[in-house]
Structure 1
Amino acid sequence: MKIDLRSVVLTLAALAVLGLIGASAVVGLGLYNVSARAGHLPGVPWVLHTTFLQSVSLRARPEALTPELTDALASLGAKHFDAACRVCHSAPGYERTATMRAMKPMPPHITEAVGDWEPNELHWIVYEGVKMSGMPHWAADRPEEVWSTVAFLTRVQRGLNRQQYDALTAVPKADPRGFAYCATCHEKSGVSGNPHIPRLDILSEEYMTRALRAFRSGARDSGIMQHAATEVPLADLPRLASIFADQEPVGDAEPLTSLALRGRRIAMEGAPDSDVAACAACHGPWPDPINPAYPSLSGQYRPYLETQLRLWRAGERGGSEVAEIMHQAAARLTDAQIEAVSAWYASRNPEELNQVNAGRN
């Protein structure tokens, strides 16, 4: 049997044209019913879900790159989940609302959503989001931040109950309006004790107000803080910053180790071998007067400082008029130097800011 190739080509071309006309009619005339009440056509949910599973499996970062998912990370992740994710996925020990159940596709309860995903796969899902599901991507280009939420989700996988969830996300009783929300992570004193959350009692009102405005505008990246800064009215940001700035810096510094002593020279004298200026010129410990535009670092948590310096070095930190100076300075620091200078500032007495202020008054 002889096949007429020309007829086959013409037939395929005609079918393609008819398909295009049909698709145009569906889109242009509104023939496809987008009603959430009607839901998807048979088979479509299976196709979408299978595509989702295979896509995550293909693209998730290697398991070897998963950091230690500590309780401190999980605590931070729980608080962010409660503010940003619970509205769709409910929470351990809580039922889904009628509105959640009416969504198409219906967001799975968080205890179901975590399934048996590996941490690296959960990281990809939370950071990238999922098309056509209402699941947004992480609000900032900060993939390392996502590990806090992943750490929390692994606790959900282990059977986190309602009482444990409530303890992790408890909101302190605090006034004025909006301050209790900030205190959920930072505590009323501005000192959470969580090394991934910066202590605020050593920072000035001016610096914190600028930082909050930068987070709110997106000039400074942080999926956690950008969400938090947009939960609070813009006009309230300076007032909330002033409450934390009025706290008296207290607490014990980290031990002065040999690593910290190596960092002292970088902080106080700079690093001549890599042309890095002294950190103390802007960040203290200062002589009199203090420049409120720059953050004091004495007593700040070492893990937080290391993260920020690495962000500056990578060019991923902004929201400051001196961003270019910080990018250039951090770009010349090695990992060992970042760890050393962070350890030295963490070993400084956080009360020294009081001492400088007392001498000025």
Structure 2
Amino acid sequence: MSIRLRHLLYLSLGAAGAVVAVLWLGLIQISASSGHWGVTDWVLHSVMRQSVKFHAPAKEPPPLDDPALVRRGAGHYESGCAACHGSPARPRGAVVMQMTPHPPDLADRIDDWRPAELFWIVKHGVKFTGMPAWPTQARDDEVWAMVAFLQAMPEMNARDYRQLAFGPEEGEGDAADLSTSVRPAEADCIRCHGTDGLGEANGAFPRLDIQPEPVLYAALKAYADGHRASGIMQSAASGLVEADLRELAAFYTKVVPLAGASVAADTVDGDLLARGEAIATHGIPRRDVAACDGCHGAEAAARQPDFPRIAGQYPGYLRNQLALFADEEVERGGGRFKDLMTLSAHTLEPDEIEAVALWYASREPLGYRRGEEAGAVRPEE
């Protein structure tokens, strides 16, 4: 070995030893109050941006101007993101401004990213920043909802944001009156599902007024235990104790369910409705698809109180849930009957899902009178 080569080896070993010594002795400042060196900040942000560009999916996003997607994303943003990133209704707080790096004001940053890049950031999070991954990796539909909201947020004022994130504007109508007299967890339900459990007709949130208490409890329990995937609902339910779950399941039994389908049958193609009815009432025997009414019809409702009631439900919600059950790459999860749905739905084609969803949406809700029997009344219109 030449003298020059030997010197280079000694120099490299010495440098490595010095680095280990500095790290071992704790000389590197890791306090958030010290901030990053300029070069450190540049390297981390550059690497993050290039990594996101490289890993962002190439698939086509859904229509991101869909009001239902924007509304669904807004509710979760307020409860899960606004505390760090601020919102059009409130700025970032003093505490988060002491984080290193500072959580950015997203309204000023959204235009820097393509939709696919925003999708990747929301779904997977970012290391070394405190930005978490989406609570479940199995719900790309929810991640796209958040992307839809983020893209719409820069154009929102405080009033627009409050209407999306909190539902009916504060101080207006029965929603505000009731929300001031309920527990915080119930108020969270009201923000998305309304005071009467009607959700939203655009399909952002499902109707709960048509469900019996055992169905609502089973769903909340599955979310809280992590057995049903939803980044939105798992975040809402995971911190609740058993008594909270029971009280929330009973909350919407205090109002009388409204009659009426969510879709007028005469607005839907008759052949499509007929196809949906055939699948709902007879199934598809040659593909081992059972008749939906075997579990979701009136007779099943009378004998089994914890089968979900889907007549009168919004078609967008039904379509999405059937698609999740049919997707072999997604374990939809849920209550004790989830395997029956997975077995029945996994061979359904998209047009068959559409037909079944529209047929049930065009039906009158099953005639539960539980609210009247309890002496409850619907808030006055």
TM-score by length of 1: 0.89
Local SS of the residue matching 1:321:
coil
Match of 1:297 among 310, 316, 327: 310
- Asked if the contact 2:293–2:300 (Cα under 8 Å) also holds between the matched residues in 1, the reply is no
What displacement does 1:120 show? 2.1
- Asked if the contact 1:79–1:185 (Cα under 8 Å) also holds between the matched residues in 2, the reply is yes
What displacement does 1:252 show? 3.2
Between 1:332-341 and 1:130-139, the stretch displaced more is 332-341
Local SS of the residue matching 1:37:
helix
Percent of aligned pairs with the same amino acid = 38
Counterpart for residue 168 of structure 1: 164
2:324 is the alignment partner of 1:311: yes
- Asked if the contact 2:61–2:144 (Cα under 8 Å) also holds between the matched residues in 1, the reply is no
Q: Give matches, 1:1-361, under 5 Å.
A: 8=5, 14=10, 17-62=13-58, 64-141=60-137, 142-157=139-154, 159-170=155-166, 172-173=175-176, 174=179, 175-177=181-183, 178-193=185-200, 194-253=202-261, 254-256=263-265, 257=268, 258=270, 259-286=272-299, 289-314=302-327, 315-350=330-365, 352-354=366-368
User: What CA distance in whole angstroms lies between the structure 2 residues aligned with 1:49 and 1:62?
Assistant: 22
The structure-2 alpha-carbon separation of the partners of 1:224 and 1:11, relative to structure 1 and needing over 3 Å to count, comes to farther
What displacement does 1:232 show? 4.1
Report the residue type matching 2:299 in the other structure. Answer: W
What displacement does 1:113 show? 3.2
User: What CA distance in whole angstroms lies between the structure 2 residues aligned with 1:69 and 1:63?
Assistant: 17
Report the residue type matching 1:264 in the other structure. Answer: E
User: What CA distance in whole angstroms lies between the structure 2 residues aligned with 1:101 and 1:356?
Assistant: 50
Q: How many residues align?
A: 352
- Asked if the contact 1:260–1:342 (Cα under 8 Å) also holds between the matched residues in 2, the reply is no
Report the residue type matching 1:98 in the other structure. Answer: A
The structure-2 alpha-carbon separation of the partners of 1:65 and 1:284, relative to structure 1 and needing over 3 Å to count, comes to same
Local SS of the residue matching 1:131:
coil
What displacement does 1:225 show? 0.3
- Asked if the contact 1:92–1:110 (Cα under 8 Å) also holds between the matched residues in 2, the reply is no
The structure-2 alpha-carbon separation of the partners of 1:269 and 1:16, relative to structure 1 and needing over 3 Å to count, comes to farther
Let me know the Cα RMSD of the aligned residues.
Answer: 2.4
Report the residue type matching 2:368 in the other structure. Answer: N
TM-score by length of 2: 0.85
Between 1:246-255 and 1:328-337, the stretch displaced more is 246-255
- Asked if the contact 1:287–1:356 (Cα under 8 Å) also holds between the matched residues in 2, the reply is no
- Asked if the contact 1:202–1:245 (Cα under 8 Å) also holds between the matched residues in 2, the reply is no
